[in-house]
């Protein structure tokens, strides 16, 4: 059985080489057309993949899976208390939430004022935040080499230290070394302990971090004794406990401030997971759109292959009739056409993929900078793209070769011998 299969395969290969030799130039042009279609779909999908990764990076810029908690006003009467009461957080609420809610990994207070930061004769008006040490990890404030974020010792000693956003540091000091330098705020001198690494932010609630500054919450309160907590930020222990943490925050604060836990206006919580879901859906939609355009381009190339194969069948009608009159089986007639179609699409696919990978590598090496490139990302090839392209190429090759081959196998030998 195996020997019969091998002999038939050898015969099919011989017939394919013979047929391909008759139309080598036409086959080459078709390979180039399929290569162009493959190049299009790989590049479009790679741009979509790069954009998706940039979106993910941008949503993580503010912090991953975090929540931002603001006080609101009650809209329901509850426990003898009327509606319309304004909720005002207290300094110790953060510690209370951490103590009573096991599903919270970290919580930080956030105070804020807009103040003038001065270095010599230069003054820059910027937002100054008073925060806890956990703020850095929650909000993805990663210091540049040589610097650090606020720590517990800074809090205990109410140190006058400051952490700067990268753009604010450049506005104040230019290209000079920043860590260890001094900044003046309202006649108070602060020592710079760190500068934030550059990051992309696609979501924010008080402006971009790059032009803001951070000082210890204890220092902020010693300078501004009437300051009140503007908001809390929190990080759940895991993605799975985020909804539980949110519900527990309502429950714990409702008990303290005596409002209905179902009154969603008493507190305002921004769950950044929703922002991440939206950007994921946008990225997926863009990828699907680009993929459809690329697939249509490739299918147009496949139609070209099919047309060529139909033309080949017509040109070889008499030859096919002779083969069938000599006893060639239907599959032996069909096989060279299907094989030729698969060879054309396969060769075009390899060519297009190789060129697209070269282009992607060159773009990755280019020093492209700016917010537009940060948001759009660079084209990125992935295994998913390879699988999608292979599946589309396989479908194109199968359909482009099958129908012309079936027509060839259905030719009547007697009629074909009279064909001129």
- Cα separation, 36 vs 31, whole angstroms: 9
Residues 281 and 404 in one domain: yes
Angle between helices 383-409 and 272-315 (to 10 degrees): 30
The pLDDT value recorded for residue 97 is 95
Residues 359 and 373 in one domain: yes
Q: How many CA atoms lie within 13 A of 303 on its CB side?
A: 6
**Tokens representing residue 49 in the block:** 């993949």
- Cα separation, 404 vs 401, whole angstroms: 6
- Is 201 in contact with 62 (CB distance < 8 Å)? yes
In a domain, 66, yes or no: no
Residues 13 and 40 in one domain: yes
In a domain, 67, yes or no: no
Residues 114 and 199 in one domain: yes
**What phi, psi does 380 have (nearest 5°)?**
-130, 120
Range of the domain at 249: 73-103+237-265
The pLDDT value recorded for residue 16 is 56
The backbone region for 57, taken as left when phi is positive above 0, alpha when psi lies in -120 to 50, beta otherwise, is alpha
Residues 382 and 285 in one domain: yes
Angle between helices 272-315 and 330-365 (to 10 degrees): 140
Residues 258 and 184 in one domain: no
Residues 134 and 210 in one domain: yes
What digits encode the pLDDT tens for the residues 95-117?
999 999 999 999 999 999 999 99
pTM: 0.70
Residues 53 and 202 in one domain: no
Q: What angle do CA 254, 259, 260 make, to 5 degrees?
A: 90
The pLDDT value recorded for residue 69 is 93
In a domain, 272, yes or no: no
In a domain, 270, yes or no: no
- Cα separation, 200 vs 290, whole angstroms: 24
Cβ of 302: how many Cβ atoms within 10 Å?
Answer: 28
In a domain, 224, yes or no: yes
- Is 161 in contact with 154 (CB distance < 8 Å)? yes
Residues 98 and 243 in one domain: yes
Residues 97 and 37 in one domain: no
The pLDDT value recorded for residue 360 is 83
Overall domain count for the chain: 3
- Is 309 in contact with 361 (CB distance < 8 Å)? no
Counting as low any pLDDT under 50, the low residues of the chain are 4
In a domain, 39, yes or no: yes
Residues 85 and 113 in one domain: no
Residues 251 and 193 in one domain: no
- Is 242 in contact with 273 (CB distance < 8 Å)? yes
- Is 209 in contact with 165 (CB distance < 8 Å)? yes
Q: Is the dihedral of CA 123, 128, 133, 138 positive or negative?
A: negative
């Amino acid at each position: 059985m195996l020997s019969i299969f091998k002999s038939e395969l050898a015969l099919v290969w011989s017939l394919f080489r013979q047929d391909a030799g008759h139309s080598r130039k036409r086959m080459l042009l078709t390979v180039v057309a399929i290569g162009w279609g493959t190049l299009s779909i790989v590049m479009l999908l790679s741009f979509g993949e790069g954009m998706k990764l940039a979106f993910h990076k941008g949503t993580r810029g503010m912090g991953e899976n975090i929540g931002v908690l603001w006080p609101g006003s009650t809209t329901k009467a509850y426990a003898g208390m009327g509606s319309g009461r304004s909720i005002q957080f207290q300094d110790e609420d953060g510690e209370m939430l951490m103590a009573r809610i096991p599903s919270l990994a970290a919580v930080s207070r956030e105070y804020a004022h807009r103040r003038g930061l001065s270095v010599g004769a230069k003054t820059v008006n910027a937002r100054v935040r008073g925060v806890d040490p956990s703020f850095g990890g929650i909000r993805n404030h990663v210091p540049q080499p040589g610097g650090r974020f606020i720590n517990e010792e800074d809090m205990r000693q109410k140190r006058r230290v400051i952490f700067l956003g990268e753009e604010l540091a450049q506005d104040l000091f230019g290209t000079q070394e920043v860590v260890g330098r001094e900044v003046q705020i309202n006649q108070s001198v602060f020592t710079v302990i760190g500068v934030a690494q550059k990051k992309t932010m696609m979501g924010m609630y008080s402006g971009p971090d790059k032009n803001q500054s951070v000082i210890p919450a204890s220092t902020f309160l010693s300078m501004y004794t009437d300051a009140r907590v503007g908001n809390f930020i929190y990080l759940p222990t895991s993605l799975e406990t985020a909804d539980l943490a949110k519900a527990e925050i309502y429950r714990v604060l409702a008990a303290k401030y005596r409002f209905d836990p179902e009154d969603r206006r008493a507190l305002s919580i921004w769950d950044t997971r929703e922002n991440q879901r939206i950007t994921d859906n946008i990225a997926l939609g863009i990828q699907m759109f680009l993929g459809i355009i690329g697939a249509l381009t490739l299918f147009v190339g496949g139609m070209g292959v099919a047309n060529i194969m139909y033309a080949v069948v017509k040109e070889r009608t008499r030859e096919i009739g002779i083969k069938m009159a000599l006893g060639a089986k239907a599959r032996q007639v069909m096989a060279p056409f299907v094989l030729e179609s698969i060879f054309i699409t396969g060769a075009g696919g390899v060519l297009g993929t190789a060129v697209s990978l070269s282009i992607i590598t060159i773009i990755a090496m280019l020093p492209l900078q700016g917010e537009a490139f940060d948001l759009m990302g660079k084209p990125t090839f992935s295994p998913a793209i390879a699988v999608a392209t292979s599946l589309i190429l396989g479908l194109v090759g199968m359909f482009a070769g099958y129908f012309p081959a079936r027509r060839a196998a259905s030719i009547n030998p007697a009629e074909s011998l009279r064909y001129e």
